[in-house]
Amino acid sequence: MTASQTAIVADPLGLHARPAADFVAQARTYESELVLTSGEKSGNCKSLLGVLKLGIATGSEVSITAIGPDEAAAVEALASLLGREPDTGDT
């Protein structure tokens, strides 16, 4: 089983050090393996360096994929931490 969810990064500065640190700290509270994907690059959600090196700007669409016992809760929490859900067309 895996769980996956996409999100649009809402922080106006993108995934910078402070929000990235918060993101990583939150990710480390889950047991599941967690991968953050932006475009063609992927990184370990539990690694600050893994997240920073993706160079994620504000408004980027990213996806979080989890494998593990708490995968559903993890992707849900991390996606909502990053920001809003992608626009589905309605306002």
Partner 1 sequence: MIVTGVPVSGGTAVGRLVVVGAHVPADVDVDDRPGSASTVEDLIALLVAAVDTSRAEITAIAAEARERLGDESAAIIELQLLVLDDPEWWNPILDQVRSGSEPSAAVWSVTSAVAEVLGSLEDPYLRERAADVLDVGQRVADRLAGRSRRGALRGLSGDVVLAAYELSPTDTLDLDLDVVRGIVTETGARTSHAAILARQLGIPAVVGATGLLEAVAAGSLVVLDGDAGTCEINPEQHVVDRARTKAAGAAPRAVIDHPVTTRDGLKIRVLANASSVADVERAVAYGADGIGLYRTEFLFMGSPELPDEDAQAEHYAAVAEAACGRPVTFRTLDVGGDKPVPGLHVEAEENPFLGVRGIRLTLANRPVFDAQLRALARTAAAYPGVSVMIPMVSGLEELDEVREVLREVAPGSTFRLGAMVEVPSAALLVDEFAREVDFLSVGTNDLTAYLLAADRGNLHLQHLYSEFHPAVLRALDQIRRGAADTPVSICGELAGDPRASGLLIGLGYRRLSVSGPLVPAVKDRVRRLDSGAATAATDTVLRARRHRDVEAALQVLLDLQA
Residue 8: active-site member: no
Residues that bind partner 1 (CB under 8 A): 13-14, 16-18, 21, 24-25, 44, 46-50, 52-53, 55, 57
In the complex, least distance from residue 7 CB atom to partner 1, rounded to whole angstroms: 17
The residue from 4, 16, 72, 73 that is catalytic is 16
- Position of tokens 């669409």? 61
Would you list the DSSP string of 37-86? EETTEEEETT-HHHHHTT-PPTT-EEEEEEESTTHHHHHHHHHHHH-PPP
In the complex, least distance from residue 52 CB atom to partner 1, rounded to whole angstroms: 6
Catalytic residue annotation: 16
